[in-house]
Amino acid sequence: MNYADHCKEQNVPVPKEPIIFSKFGSSIVGPYDEIILPPESQEVDWEVELAVVIGKTGKHIKATDAMAHVAGFTVAHDVSARDWQMKRNGKQWLLGKTFDTFCPLGPALVTKDSVADPHNLKICCRVNGEVVQSSSTKQMVFRTEVLIAWVSR
């Protein structure tokens, strides 16, 4: 629920505070690696995300100081087993988001100094070469600085 247009598409209200979830290291693969569909799930879904790569640690970071902690940006393909995320395991998101191969990243890390405005980027998701989602980071519900400050608390 990071993008307003995705909330509308899913027919859910725009969140009032960030919704944060984890991805296990075993879920991360390269941008062109195969995503393995687990036999335990019948409802695998996908969405594109702007991935912010943190290069400097911090706690209780102010939004005005947040970008000083960013090394750069890349693209994340957030794959989810919606049945595990929304119907099982107490409806908490962890297991639905962390199956092996469920987080392709890349193909490039773009340093923050080469991105004029991270909230004005085209972002899309392709499955088997077909565009299945097309949006813009203008649609982000919470700006990068706000997300970093919120998570650092």
Give the amino acid at 104.
P
Q: What mean pLDDT value characterizes the chain? A: 93
Residue extents of the structural domains in the chain: 4-152
Can you give the pLDDT at residue 82?
Answer: 93
Residues 6+ apart with CB under 8 A from 62: 149
d(CA 71, CA 65): 13
Can you give the pLDDT at residue 10?
Answer: 81
CA separation, residue 68 to residues 42, 53, 108, 144, 147 (Å):
42, 12, 20, 12, 14
Run of H or E residues at 49: strand 44-54
Question: What class does CATH assign to 4-152?
Answer: alpha beta
Q: Read off the DSSP letter of residue 20.
A: -
Tell me the β-bridge partners of 110.
73
**Weakly modelled stretches of the chain, pLDDT under 50:** none
Can you give the pLDDT at residue 44?
Answer: 95
Can you give the pLDDT at residue 43?
Answer: 96
What's the pTM value of the predicted model, to 2 decimals? 0.88
Can you give the pLDDT at residue 54?
Answer: 96
Backbone φ and ψ of 8, nearest 5°: -60, -45
d(CA 76, CA 28): 9
Q: What is the pLDDT of residues 38-76, one digit of tens each?
A: 999 999 999 899 999 999 999 999 999 999 999 999 999
Can you give the pLDDT at residue 150?
Answer: 96
Secondary structure of residue 30 in the 3-state scheme: coil
Can you give the pLDDT at residue 128?
Answer: 86
d(CA 53, CA 118): 12
